[in-house]
Amino acid sequence: MASDQKVLELNDLNVHYFTPRGAVIAVNHVNLYVKKGEIVGLVGESGCGKTTVAMSTLQMVSAPGRIVGGEIKIEGQNIVNLPEKELRKLRWSKLALIPQGAMNSLNPVTKIKEQMADGITAHEKISGAALRDKVLKLLNDVGLPERVYNMFPHELSGGMKQRVCIAMAVALNPAVIIADEPTSALDVIVQRVVAQTLLDVKNRLGVSMIMIGHDMGLLAQMVDRVAVMYAGNLVEVGPVGSIFEHPYHPYTQLLIDAIPSTKQKKPLKVTEGLTHDLRNPPPGCCFQFRCPFVRDACRQKPPEFKQMEPDHFVACVQYN
25 forms beta bridges with: 16
Nearer to other proteins, 257 or 304 (CB): 257
Q: How would you write the chain as a 3-class SS string?
A: CCCCCEEEEEEEEEEEEEECCEEEEEEEEEEEEEECCCEEEEECCCCCCHHHHHHHHCCCCCCCEEEEEEEEEECCEECCCCCHHHHHHHHHHCEEEECCCHHHHCCCCCCHHHHHHHHHHHHCCCCHHHHHHHHHHHHHHCCCCHHHHHCCHHHCCHHHHHHHHHHHHHCCCCCEEEEECCCCCCCHHHHHHHHHHHHHHHHHHCCEEEEEECCHHHHHHHCCEEEEEECCEEEEEEEHHHHHHCCCCHHHHHHHHCCCCCCCCCCCCCCCCCCCCCCCCCCCCCCCCCCCCCCHHHHCCCCCEEEEECCEEEECHHHC
Minimum separation from the CB atom of position 189 to other proteins (A): 5
Nearer to other proteins, 156 or 235 (CB): 156
Nearer to other proteins, 73 or 111 (CB): 111
Return residues touching other proteins (CB under 8 A). 17, 19-21, 24, 26, 45-47, 49, 51-52, 62-64, 143, 145, 155-157, 159-160, 187-193, 195-196, 214-218, 220-221, 240-241, 244, 251, 254-256, 258-263, 265-266, 268-272, 274-280, 282, 289
Nearer to other proteins, 120 or 231 (CB): 231
Minimum separation from the CB atom of position 268 to other proteins (A): 4
- Number of residues that this document lists for the chain: 320
Minimum separation from the CB atom of position 20 to other proteins (A): 6
Nearer to other proteins, 175 or 230 (CB): 230
Nearer to other proteins, 129 or 270 (CB): 270
24 forms beta bridges with: 17
Nearer to other proteins, 130 or 185 (CB): 185
Minimum separation from the CB atom of position 177 to other proteins (A): 20
CA atoms within 13 A on the CB side of 286: 23
Minimum separation from the CB atom of position 73 to other proteins (A): 25
Minimum separation from the CB atom of position 3 to other proteins (A): 20
Cα–Cα nearest to 74, from 88, 62, 91: 91
Nearer to other proteins, 129 or 274 (CB): 274
Minimum separation from the CB atom of position 54 to other proteins (A): 12
Cα–Cα distance, 284 to 289 (Å, whole number): 11
Minimum separation from the CB atom of position 179 to other proteins (A): 15
